[in-house]
């Protein structure tokens, strides 16, 4: 194939007949994009005249301190990895030959080289039209390709790209090179200039992980749910549509050996779909074969067991609302207020003798009982003196605040159930050894246990997952129903998954707080897809501005089931109440018995005295 050299083009085209102008334009582009170096591609068969031209161009670049590499197109295609600089991406100047550019881009695409790793620069003559030149050349959506033209006596830079290989070429003015050798380029960011996908239809992987509201011939056409809402927001913002496809088995995707993946990951690898719109867990092994757009949410998948029938008796629930320090402060306040009340009463009685006889017998014990009865919301005789009334009012206000706080905290402690869980962590799960664990088949959950650096999790996989891996229930509801049917089963799920399916279960499930798998979730896309960055930036922007809500925020809308208080939760209060009643009855009976004994003794004394007096009379 015959190549037209860029150096000869410089010498022949009007407007670029001065090599110095050519170098100044390239340097201006380099400075605008903060590029690290410049590549010039040329033909293998380089004549002496063209070689001299390139040498002079090289000298100009050298004087400006610009690193320059001049190489042949064949060598460049043979070693495409040389297209890099020490710092930042390079400027790559192409020969102005249509066949050369088309062949070069096709070969690089075949080598799966990301054309976005360089800024491509092409100088065209005055009679050339970019849309005609690029009629059958695919310039990827994420590729920065600038065409330098002379129009009406001025030098312009036009940005060209295609939304997809089948879409028409987009050619938009990028900037002008002015007479003072400066580039006045676009102030908008790269993806601000390309935020419209022109109604592109993307093949999108989905499945039962997202609620399918409508399908035609078993092919989804409409979806709903929290992640579907995020996807629809992306469609509206970037102006694209989705053609939905579901994987065989409705799996997220896992490695089945020999570099083969199933599920949604496999569909991306085989280029059956462009992108997936499900909440796929971001794992290292998946990242090796597909790309993830951006973290949408951080999820924790807990170990759930069937709720035990009994709860722990919280005997300390009556003192739990306040910390030990607060209880000490409360006792000190009670004693201090009692002392202040007693002192004010005594001092006032000494100063005002007319009231002394009424309150002279008011002791510290009476003052203490008066303050204590106030803290228990019981009545007490109001003092007459103003100073005593101030202390009395302070006691009441303190009592109201403390009693209200205590009551609210006590109710909270009573309503918080503490179940007798069979284990509290994966370590204890192994120690118990009598429970079975069901996880999602062909999912990141299995890989998390299997490939974990934690020996405990690897042992959980070997003992409890590997033996039943081929027969795991396919759907989340099946796994949760299995836990309800057999109290010796446990399942991995998120809290939101359990809440959503709660009305479909015949039991309640309880999470094990310290046994969970933490991971990030994201949409996945084909490896080195030209649309990854535009999706990433748009998604970050929507999450940052709050135009879409993460799954955690939407979870707050789900109303939890209203739970009733069980007998075991109020047992400590009932025990204290019963003990108080028993003590009161015992004290009343003891008092009655003591009074009866006292009366009997008095009656006996009177009887003995009267009998003695009658005898003495008889003797007389």
Q: DSSP secondary structure string, 18-51?
A: SHHHHHHHHHHHHHHHT---EEEEE-SS--HHHH
Residue 343 token pair: 């002192």
Say what the pLDDT of residue 610 is. Answer: 72
Domain made up of 6-185: CATH architecture: 3-Layer(aba) Sandwich (3.40)
Which pair of tokens denotes residue 156?
A: 């312009």
Q: Residue 272's pLDDT band (boundaries 50, 70, 90)?
A: very high
Which range, 143-157, 342-356, 530-544, has the best average confidence (pLDDT)? 530-544
User: pLDDT band at residue 619, thresholds of 50, 70 and 90?
Assistant: low
* Confidence tier at 618 by pLDDT (50, 70, 90): low
Exposure letters 414-429 (e unless 16+ CB within 10 A, then b): beebeeebbbeebbeb
Q: How confident is the model at residue 561 (pLDDT cuts 50, 70, 90)?
A: low
Lowest-confidence segment of 26-30, 339-343, 363-367 by average pLDDT: 363-367
Average pLDDT over residues 36-44: 80
Q: 489: pLDDT confidence band, cut at 50, 70 and 90?
A: very high
Within 8 A by CB and 6+ apart from 4, the residues are: 43, 95, 96, 97, 100
- Interatomic CA distance for residues 407 and 430, integer angstroms: 41
Across 15-29, 321-335, 480-494, the highest mean pLDDT is recorded for 480-494
pLDDT band at 133 (very low <50, low <70, confident <90, very high): confident
Per-residue three-class SS string for 435-504: CEEECCCCCHHHHHHHCCCCHHHHHHHHHHHHHHHHHCCCCHHHHHHHHHHCCCEEEEEEHHHHHHCHHH
Distance from C-alpha of 239 to C-alpha of 235, rounded to nearest angstrom: 5
Q: In this model, does residue 282 exceed pLDDT 80?
A: yes
Q: What is the pLDDT of residue 550?
A: 56
Task: Give Cβ neighbours of residue 154 (< 8 Å, ≥ 6 apart).
Answer: 176
Predicted local confidence at residue 525, as pLDDT: 95
Beta strand pairing call for 291-306 and 509-525: antiparallel
Among 41-55, 484-498, 559-573, top mean pLDDT goes to: 484-498
Most confident of 108-122, 231-245, 444-458: 231-245
Instruction: Give the tokens for residue 170.
Output: 């987009």
**pLDDT at res. 556:** 45
- Binning pLDDT at 50, 70 and 90, where does residue 516 land? very high
Distance between CA 83 and CA 221 in Å, rounded?
43
How far is 177 from 480, CA to CA, in rounded Å?
66
Tell me what pLDDT residue 82 has.
64
* Cβ-Cβ contacts under 8 Å for 303 (sequence gap 6 or more): 426, 429, 437, 490, 491, 492, 511, 512, 515, 516
Task: Decide if 495 contacts 504 (C-beta within 8 A).
Answer: no
579, two tokens: 């003990």
Which is more confidently placed, 77 or 541? Answer: 541
Q: State the pLDDT confidence band at 16, using cuts at 50, 70 and 90.
A: very low
Return the pLDDT at 144.
Answer: 93
373 band by pLDDT with thresholds 50, 70 and 90: confident
Answer yes or no: are the C-beta atoms of 66 and 85 closer than 8 Å: no
Predicted pLDDT at 276: 94
Distance of alpha carbon 303 from its chain centroid, rounded?
19
Collapsing DSSP to helix, strand or coil, 101 comes out as: helix
* Mean pLDDT, the chain, integer: 81
In this structure, is the dihedral angle defined by the CA atoms of residues 130, 131, 136 and 137, taken in order, positive or negative? positive
Q: Is the pLDDT of residue 270 over 50?
A: yes
Helix axes 19-33 and 48-63, enclosed angle (nearest 10): 50
Domain boundaries, the chain: 6-185, 315-413
CA angle 337, 341, 343 (to 5 degrees): 115
Question: What is the rounded distance in angstroms from the CA atom of residue 443 to the CA atom of residue 299?
Answer: 15
Average pLDDT, stretch 183-210? 88
Please name the residue that has the structure tokens 């290989």.
165
**Can you give the pLDDT at residue 100?**
78
d(CA 562, CA 496): 16
Give dist(CA 89, CA 110) in Å, integer: 21
Mean pLDDT within 424-445: 90
pLDDT for residue 417 is more than 70: no
Per DSSP bridges, beta strands 255-257 and 169-177 are: unpaired
CA nearest 403: which of 507, 297, 330?
Answer: 330
C-alpha 117/C-alpha 142 separation (Å) is: 9
The answer for residues whose C-beta is within 8 angstroms of residue 502's C-beta and 6 or more apart is 508, 561
Decide: 85 and 38 in contact? Cβ < 8 Å. no
Number of CB atoms found within 10 A of residue 436's CB? 15
Query: Quick one: which of 521, 524, 517, 522 has its CA closest to 452?
Result: 517
Beta bridge partners of 522: 280, 295
CB–CB of 273/290 below 8 Å?
A: no
Q: Which residue has the tokens 């569909």?
A: 267
pLDDT reading at 161 higher than 80? yes
Helix (H, G, I), strand (E, B) or coil at 128: coil
In percent, the amount of the chain with pLDDT more than 70 equals 84
Q: Per this entry, what is the length of the chain? A: 620
The β-bridge partners of 436 are 489
On the question of pLDDT at 478 being above 60, the answer is yes
Higher pLDDT, 433 or 47: 433
């Amino acid at each position: 194939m015959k190549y037209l050299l860029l150096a000869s083009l410089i010498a022949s085209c009007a407007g670029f007949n001065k090599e110095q102008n050519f170098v100044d334009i390239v340097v201006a582009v380099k400075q605008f994009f903060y590029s690290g170096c410049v590549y010039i591609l040329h033909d293998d068969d380089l004549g002496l005249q063209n070689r001299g031209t390139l040498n002079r161009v090289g000298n100009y670049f050298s004087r400006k301190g610009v690193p320059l590499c001049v190489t042949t197109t064949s060598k460049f295609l043979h070693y495409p990895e040389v297209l890099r600089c020490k710092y930042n991406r390079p400027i790559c100047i192409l020969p102005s030959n249509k066949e050369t550019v088309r062949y070069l881009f096709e070969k690089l695409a075949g080598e799966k080289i990301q054309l976005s790793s360089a800024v491509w620069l092409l100088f065209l003559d005055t009679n050339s039209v970019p849309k005609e030149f690029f009629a059958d050349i695919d310039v990827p959506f994420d590729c920065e390709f600038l065409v330098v033209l002379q129009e009406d006596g001025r030098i312009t830079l036009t940005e060209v790209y295609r939304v997809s290989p089948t879409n028409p070429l987009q050619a938009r003015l990028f900037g002008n090179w002015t007479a003072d050798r400066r580039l006045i380029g676009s102030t908008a960011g790269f993806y601000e200039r390309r935020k419209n996908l022109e109604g592109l239809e993307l093949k999108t992987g989905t499945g039962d992980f997202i609620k399918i509201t409508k399908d035609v011939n078993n092919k989804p056409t409409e979806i709903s749910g929290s992640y579907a809402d995020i996807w629809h927001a992306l469609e509206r913002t970037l102006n694209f549509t989705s053609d939905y496809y579901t994987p065989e088995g409705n799996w997220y995707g896992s490695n089945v050996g020999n570099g083969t993946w199933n599920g949604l990951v496999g569909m991306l690898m085989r280029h059956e779909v462009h992108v997936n719109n499900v909440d796929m867990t971001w794992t290292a092994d998946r990242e090796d074969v597909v790309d993830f757009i951006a973290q949408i949410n951080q999820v924790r998948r807990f170990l759930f067991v069937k709720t035990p029938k009994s709860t722990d008796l919280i005997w300390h629930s009556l003192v739990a609302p306040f910390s030990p320090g607060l209880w000490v402060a409360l006792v000190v306040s009670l004693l201090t207020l009692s002392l202040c009340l007693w002192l004010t009463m005594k001092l006032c009685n000494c100063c005002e003798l007319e009231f002394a006889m009424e309150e002279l017998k008011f002791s510290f014990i009476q003052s203490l009982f008066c303050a204590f009865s106030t803290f228990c919301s019981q009545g007490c005789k109001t003092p007459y003196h103003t100073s005593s009334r101030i202390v009395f009012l302070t006691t009441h206000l303190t009592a109201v605040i403390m009693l209200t706080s205590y009551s609210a905290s006590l109710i909270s402690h009573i309503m918080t159930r503490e179940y007798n869980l069979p284990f509290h962590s994966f370590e204890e799960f192994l120690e118990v050894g009598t429970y079975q664990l069901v996880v999602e088949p062909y999912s990141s959950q299995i890989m998390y246990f299997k490939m974990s650096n934690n020996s405990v999790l690897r042992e959980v996989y070997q003992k409890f997952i590997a033996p039943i891996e081929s027969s795991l229930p396919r759907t989340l509801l099946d796994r949760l129903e299995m836990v309800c049917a057999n109290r010796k089963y446990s399942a991995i799920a998120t809290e939101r998954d359990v809440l959503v399916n709660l009305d479909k279960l015949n039991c309640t499930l309880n999470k094990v707080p310290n046994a969970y798998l933490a991971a990030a979730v994201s949409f996945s896309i084909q490896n080195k897809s030209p649309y990854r960055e535009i999706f990433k930036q748009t998604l970050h922007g929507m999450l940052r501005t709050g135009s879409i809500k993460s799954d955690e925020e939407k979870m707050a809308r789900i109303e939890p089931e209203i739970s009733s208080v069980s007998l075991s939760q109020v047992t400590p209060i009932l025990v204290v109440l019963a003990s108080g009643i028993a003590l009161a009855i015992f004290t009343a009976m003891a008092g009655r018995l003591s009074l009866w004994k006292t009366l009997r003794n008095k009656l006996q004394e009177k009887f003995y005295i009267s009998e003695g007096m009658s005898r003495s009379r008889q003797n007389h």
